[in-house]
Amino acid sequence: MKEDLHTALREFHSWAFSFAPTAIVATAVQLDLFSHLKDPTSVESLAQKLSLSTKGTHRLLEALDSLGILEKKGEKFLLDPSVAHLFDPSSLFYIGSFLLHAWKLQERWRDLPQVVASGTPVPREKDPQFPITLAKGLFPVHWFQAAELGKNLKLNPGTVLDVAGGSGVWSAGILHHHPHLKGTVLDLPQVVEEAAKPILDKIGLLERYSFLPGDMFRMEWGHGYTAIILGHICHALGEEEIFTLLEKAKTALAPGGNLIIIDFIRDSKDPFPAIFSINMLIATPQGDVYALEDYEKWLAAKKFRVKGSIPLTGPWKSAAILATPT
């Protein structure tokens, strides 16, 4: 009993400061530290260059070193070569944007008692940069799952529509393995210009893409797509909104085309979907993490036949549900 209690206490204690690594890295991102740490740099030099206190800069660099992000050489610091591509702002796989997004989410999580009481998010002023920051930040998070999915798919020649596609990561992972395919990204104009086009250019796929700038609910999607992707969209929506997207997808798919829904799936053995469901409660009016049975029911109601699902490995498990119109 005592040993079990001791083990449980140790785990619960670890939760108390679980926010800290994200806050430390996000602070470094906000202060633009990583841009100045490609070469060995002293605390004093960095503090002077960025108009920071020597004391605060030293503590922050020591913390980043302890997290394995920096390497210390004598009295100087630089990005650890083994993870430098993740923290170099010029890198395609820079995760600073995502961690900054995660840190900002913590402000919303402080609303949780009020949200649980009311059942609705606390109104906040919209950040016009949020969709761009999120799209850029999610590229390195989703790329390897997207490439894994692309490797396991067989699709007819044609065009893949990436709805609310952000950087285009999910379709890009598919096009990476299928040179006979083209892609179209549908998203807000600023996301297309500032996230999708630059990132697709960096990975050498831009010439195979076209773009539909606009609102996915208000605009026509076009017709004749060999596949349509709803990649991590449904968890932000309610049932009626999901029905609308399914109807639009059915109209836009070519005969025999595939609808690919990628999302977290509620699972009693995995705590993350339940945690992320709370995130949707805080941030969206209707969003949630849904069970596979929910998607199967909705797809059947809109005359889709579910062909199967592909589990996607990663820190947060997702699945790709494949369906075709009946």
Residue 11 has pLDDT above 90, yes or no: no
Measured between alpha carbons, how far is 253 from 87 in angstroms, rounded to an integer?
A: 39
Q: Residue 129: which of 191, 201, 178 has the closest Cα? A: 191
Out of 10-14, 131-135, 159-163, pick the least confident.
10-14
CA 143 – CA 137 distance, rounded (Å): 11
pLDDT grade for 1, boundaries at 50, 70 and 90: low
pTM, 2 dp: 0.92
Q: What are the pLDDT digits (tens) for 148-188?
A: 999 999 999 999 999 999 999 999 999 999 999 999 999 99
pLDDT digits (tens, 9 = 90+) for 270-292: 899 999 999 999 999 999 999 99
Tokens of 187: 């998203």
Q: List, for residues 206-235, the tens digit of each pLDDT value.
A: 999 999 999 999 999 999 999 999 999 999
First to last CA, the chain: 57
Scanning the chain, the segments in alpha helix (DSSP H) are: 2-15, 20-30, 43-50, 54-66, 84-87, 96-109, 112-118, 130-152, 169-177, 189-191, 197-202, 239-252, 271-283, 292-301
Domains of the chain, start order: 2-108 (1.10.10.10), 130-325 (3.40.50.150)
